[in-house]
Chain A
């Protein structure tokens, strides 16, 4: 991302793949490549990519060129929070959000709502077909989409991909909002409009939804330790049920700019090789990423977390005093 204007090339910078179809006047016509907690390839299919390309060409033909006043270019290497760490190496996309967050925190104008970037369609109660991403395949009961009358089989107008929808959601405020979506119902010619009433905190990700994001690593508080999840044979060796979430501590972060977290964990008694099950009150983690996201999003600075670990065939606990901010 070195030299790339972040005001022009805006997309979910946590992604591993992103494509933009752009008019020569700079207008982004359609977007491709979003993801959610189901995996990096969930929205990436040959059929959907073909549809995205075709939609890009159609939108290009229909677009009336504009000459809006562009924002002044913003390159990441000019952002002080990044520049002070810049060693001149390749800048990965996922470096952008943490740097912009640090910069905003330094200015004092950052809020947690800034974390909720490019919300997945599930945040408004929709799921879309993987190949035909304007086609609604599921509507969650009681969700904003359900209350607005959207149904499986409805075809969203003006959107070619799930990423197009995520970009639309990204631009909405995190508080109560109204989203208007145009759609066609099967067997009917006319275009309908759905008005979705989005409630307070509609955008907020759960830890499980946020877990895949590489930008979570810079958030605090952090546990300061981690390791690989035990597989089925390792769980058997420990006499743990096969569906148990457990990971073996392989590292404590006792070096670098985040060493305070690992040092706090070490002081509390966390050690290499320990088998961690979660906490006294939460064990249903889906992955080690989920554990790390949960700690960063849900644990309060200055609180005490009772870390649960497996010892000699029994659950035991370590009280960890979480550092204040």
Chain B
């Protein structure tokens, strides 16, 4: 799956989701400001994303690739 699709997904989650992403291969580049919105909190640490989702009571989108 390519990065472009993930970018689209990121744009769509500007509705209050917390991201957590785990990568089994090389780390993806950090998203640019154009790929995020104030409502999206990008994390590459699943543990930190879980902690934030639990604290804020917001849903978590976990992506494994």
Contacts and interface: CB of A to CB of B under 8 A. Distances in A.
Interface string A37-81: 000010010100110011011001000000000000000000000
A50 B64 CA distance: 17
Interface in A58-116: 60, 90-93
B63 A57 contact: no
Interface in B24-47: 24-25, 46-47
Contacts of B57: 24
A217 interface: no
Given A24-B60, A49-B9, A60-B59, A18 B54 contact: no
Contact of A53 (B1, B9, B62): B9
Contact of B46 (A4, A19, A90, A91): A4
Given A19-B62, A44-B1, A53-B9, A90 B54 contact: no
B1 A20 contact: no
B59 A20 contact: no
A57 B5 CA distance: 19
A165 interface: no
Contact of A1 (B5, B15, B24): B24
* Residue picked from B53, B54, B60, B63, most chain A C-beta under 10 Å: B60
A49 B8 contact: yes
A184 interface: no
Contacts of B5: 44, 46, 49
Contact of A17 (B1, B13, B53): B1
A60 B17 CA distance: 10
* Residue picked from A44, A50, A53, most chain B C-beta under 10 Å: A53
B64 A29 contact: no
B13 A53 contact: yes
A86 to B, nearest CB: 15
B24 A18 contact: no
Given A44-B5, A49-B8, A57-B15, A29 B63 contact: no
Contacts of B24: 1, 90-93
A50 B25 CA distance: 25
Given A22-B59, A24-B54, A53-B13, A17 B65 contact: yes
A41 B22 contact: no
Contact of A20 (B15, B16, B56, B62): B62
A33 B64 CA distance: 9
Contacts of A29: 59
A35 B4 CA distance: 20
A54 B29 CA distance: 26
B10 to A, nearest CB: 10
A162 B16 CA distance: 25
Given A41-B1, A44-B1, A44-B5, A19 B63 contact: yes
Nearest to A60: B59
B58 A53 contact: no
B48 interface: no
Given A4-B22, A16-B65, A18-B65, 7 more contacts: A9-B64, A18-B64, A19-B62, A20-B62, A24-B58, A46-B5, A54-B12
Interface of B: 1, 5, 8-9, 12-13, 15-17, 22, 24-25, 46-47, 53-54, 56-65
Please give me the 8 A-B residue pairs with the lowest Cβ-Cβ distance, nearest first: A60-B59, A22-B60, A92-B24, A18-B64, A17-B1, A17-B65, A20-B62, A19-B63
Interface of A: 1, 3-4, 9, 11, 15-24, 29, 33, 41, 44, 46, 49-50, 53-54, 56-57, 60, 90-93
